[in-house]
Amino acid sequence: MDSRSAKIDTGMSASFIASAVIHLAVFLLFVWWGEQFSPQMALQETYYVDVVDLPVTAPQAGEEIQKTDEPKTEVPQVQPLAPTPSPSEPVTKKGTKFLKPAAPQSTAESEAAFQERMAKLAEKNEAQQIDERINRISSKVKSKAASKAGTPGAGGAERGSRYSDYIKSRLEDALKITSYSTTQNPEIAVRITISAEGRLLRIKVERSSGDSAFELSVRRAIDLASQKFTAPPDNNVFENGFLFRPKGILNNSEQ
Amino acid sequence: MAIILGAGVVVKLVLLLLMSFSVVSWGIILFKFFQVQRAKSESERFMDFFWKSKRFDAIASQVDRFASSPLTVLFNEGYSELKKVVETDSKSDGNAISTDLGGVENVSRAMRRATNSEITRLEKYLTFLATTGSTSPFIGLFGTVWGIMTAFEGIGKTGSASLAVVAPGIAEALIATAIGLVAAIPAVMAYNHFQHKIRVLINEMDSFSTEFLNIVQRNIAGK
């Protein structure tokens, strides 16, 4: 009976070893399978959109046309502002009779001086803005020449683009509500694509510091903000990268 | 892979427990498979050999060739008991009829005892398969419930309920149930299979012992 039980034990341990080996093999097979097929799933998600153009002349996005209008509207505004000191005159007039002729003179003089000064300021401002515009246009022309030939217009993801700033501020507002992190200084670079109708098309995490809680809150912020996006100007698909940090969001488009 | 590594501690423990259940139950399945298979084939060969031989002592000298068959154990027990009975019979030399009947009964008892011990040997470890089959789905379910609980806690912290947030936690949790079922299904199938095979072997043992007792009784009565 001893030899029999000994035989049972050896058979038992052998089959246990075989079982463990089979399990290990199956496990490794699954790991291999996962590695083999998960990148394909990620690939399905990604597709590439051509660099988006936000034409500067579009009224919605263009600062150019709006800027040129601004000084013109500002100058007339100065004139209605000027008479405001005049209602103060009757008050002084009632108090002191002798100063009556002198007072209007001085106010008229100061009014004229004020108007002159304002006009000068406006002129100066206009000149400055024209200079700025020239600079910007020339730099844009330069950058366009430096970048891909054949891409029409300036890149919508450029620094001056109002729409990306708008999206950024929307995201910042949302992140204030959702921000939650477990590590010290988490940061996540996310590329966001918005359809011509203002619908969120795609979120792609390009780089992450590995804080899953913060990543979750960023996703939540994008979710929250995307409910209120307006459509990008000129019916273009908008795509831009943003660098999320707990303190705020950086426009990551230049990288 | 990431699903398992990303799961919580409790879910990981559950997965580890289920994996060890699965390893042990598969070890038992393999062991039992070979044991039952060998017992069956050697029993058949032993029965052939048994019916061809004329004498018990000739069989007894060859019986080691079929050591894996439960019938050889029965034969050994019955034969040694028979030898003892015959020895005492020849020593006492007195009233033969009463010892003859008592001798057959002795052999019968010895073979019944051997049958019982063989049944115990064949059914050993099968209870573990039954336990694995019935409990591991529940253990997996426990892991899933726990995982979903923690997932919901996480959702509450971030305040988001979009599918992208909810889905990974639930997928993590559901893998526990999946592993539980993976451990349970083969265990239940193997348990039923072995129960059937062992029942067949028990029938064989019973019929063999009646045959053996018939032969013994015939020989003693004819003496």
* A238 vs B92, more confident: A238
Neighbours of B29 (CB within 10 A): 23
Look at A19 and B19 and tell me if their CB atoms are within 8 Å: no
Give pLDDT, residue A30: 87
**Residue B19 is nearest to which of A23, A213, A219, comparing CB atoms?**
A23
Give the 3-state secondary structure of residue A202.
Answer: strand
Q: Distance between terminal CA atoms of chain B?
A: 76
Among chain B residues, CA nearest to A178: B158
Calculate mean pLDDT across residues B86-114. 72
Calculate mean pLDDT across residues B144-170. 80
Q: Are A17 and A25 in contact (CB under 8 A)?
A: no
Q: Are B148 and B12 in contact (CB under 8 A)?
A: no
Look at A178 and B154 and tell me if their CB atoms are within 8 Å: no
% pLDDT > 90, chain B: 42
Tokens 């903000």 correspond to what residue? Answer: A225
A4 touches chain B (CB under 8 A): yes
The whole-angstrom separation of Cα A65 and Cα A133 is 10
Q: Which one of A10, A15, A179, A202 makes the best mutation probe of the B interface by having the most chain B beta carbons within 10 Å?
A: A15
Q: Is the pLDDT at B54 greater than 60, yes or no?
A: yes
The whole-angstrom separation of Cα B147 and Cα B3 is 12
Residue among A206, A219, A226, A229 nearest A179 (CA): A219
The whole-angstrom separation of Cα B106 and Cα B82 is 8
Distance from CA of A184 to the nearest CA of B (A): 17
Helices (H), A46-185: 63-81, 89-95, 102-146, 162-178
Q: Is the pLDDT at B209 greater than 80, yes or no?
A: yes
- Chain B residues touching A9 at Cβ < 8 A: none
The whole-angstrom separation of Cα B67 and Cα B73 is 8
Give pLDDT, residue A53: 58
Give pLDDT, residue B171: 83
**Residue A223 is nearest to which of B22, B29, B160, comparing CB atoms?**
B160
N residues, chain B: 223
The CATH classification number of A162-251 equals 3.30.1150
Number of domains into which chain B is organized: 1
Secondary element (H or E) of residue A244:
strand A238-245
Query: Consecutive sets of 10 residues in chain A, 255 residues long: mean pLDDT of each?
Result: 53 88 91 74 54 56 47 47 48 45 57 87 88 82 52 45 80 80 82 83 82 83 82 81 83 58
Look at A216 and B154 and tell me if their CB atoms are within 8 Å: yes
- Chain A residues touching B1 at Cβ < 8 A: 30-31, 34-35
Look at B1 and A34 and tell me if their CB atoms are within 8 Å: yes
Look at A20 and B27 and tell me if their CB atoms are within 8 Å: yes
Give chain B's contact residues with A (Cβ, < 8 Å): 1-2, 19, 22-24, 26-31, 34-35, 67, 154, 157-160, 162, 164-165
Q: Residue A206: what residue type? A: E
Q: Is the pLDDT at B165 greater than 80, yes or no?
A: no
Look at B160 and A35 and tell me if their CB atoms are within 8 Å: no
Give pLDDT, residue B199: 93
Domain boundaries, chain A: 63-146, 162-251
Give pLDDT, residue B99: 53
A202 touches chain B (CB under 8 A): no
Distance from CA of B103 to the nearest CA of A (A): 25
- Chain A residues touching B34 at Cβ < 8 A: 11, 15
Q: Is the pLDDT at B115 greater than 70, yes or no?
A: yes
Calculate mean pLDDT across residues B53-80. 85
A45 touches chain B (CB under 8 A): no
Q: Are A58 and A158 in contact (CB under 8 A)?
A: no
Calculate mean pLDDT across residues B26-43. 92
Range(s) of the domain holding residue B189: 2-222
Neighbours of A8 (CB within 10 A): 15
Give pLDDT, residue A161: 64
Q: Is the pLDDT at B85 greater than 70, yes or no?
A: yes
B93: left (phi over 0), alpha (psi -120 to 50) or beta: left
